[in-house]
Amino acid sequence: MGNIPAVTDAAFDADVLKSDKPVLVDFWAEWCGPCRQVAPILDEINTAHGDKLTFLKMNVDENPVTPSNYRVTGIPTLAVFQNGEIVKTIVGAKPKGALLKELEAFIG
């Protein structure tokens, strides 16, 4: 799905928590319609702003530990991590304009 790399439970600490720039993690699943709806929008935002914000996808069915640790109960959930902490959470599919507004602090 798209041009956003996947992150696993095993790589989460290194790829997300220890990243030197903010990381948006898209918690998603194959069977989730709204997840498929938001995927191309995230691809577009990643293409335009990937230099300021790292975009990663985590399949919650294949990687159950991390979503459980962060109490991800609904998908899609977009979580922005900065300095090892969640600083923003967006739950549900949103149109591009709404996502850009939510992410403004990170992408300028």
Whether the predicted pLDDT of 1 surpasses 50: no
Q: Is 35 a catalytic residue?
A: yes
* 44-48 CB contacts, 8 Å cutoff, 24+ apart: 44/96, 45/96, 45/99, 45/100, 45/103, 45/107, 46/2, 46/3, 46/4, 47/3, 48/107
Whether 5 maps to a domain, the answer reads no
- Name the band, by pLDDT with cuts 50, 70 and 90, for residue 93: very high
Whether 4 maps to a domain, the answer reads no
Q: Is 32 a catalytic residue?
A: yes
Q: Helix, strand or coil for residue 100? A: helix
Whether 40 maps to a domain, the answer reads yes
**Count of domains observed in the chain:** 1
Global pTM reads 0.96
Spot the catalytic one: 4, 7, 23, 35.
35
67: which 2 tokens? 């979503």
Spot the catalytic one: 32, 39, 45, 90.
32
- What's the DSSP call for residue 76? S
Q: Provide the domain limits for residue 22.
A: 11-103
Per-residue pLDDT tens over the stretch 47-92: 999 999 999 999 999 999 999 999 999 999 999 999 999 999 999 9
Per-residue pLDDT tens over the stretch 10-55: 999 999 999 999 999 999 999 999 999 999 999 999 999 999 999 9
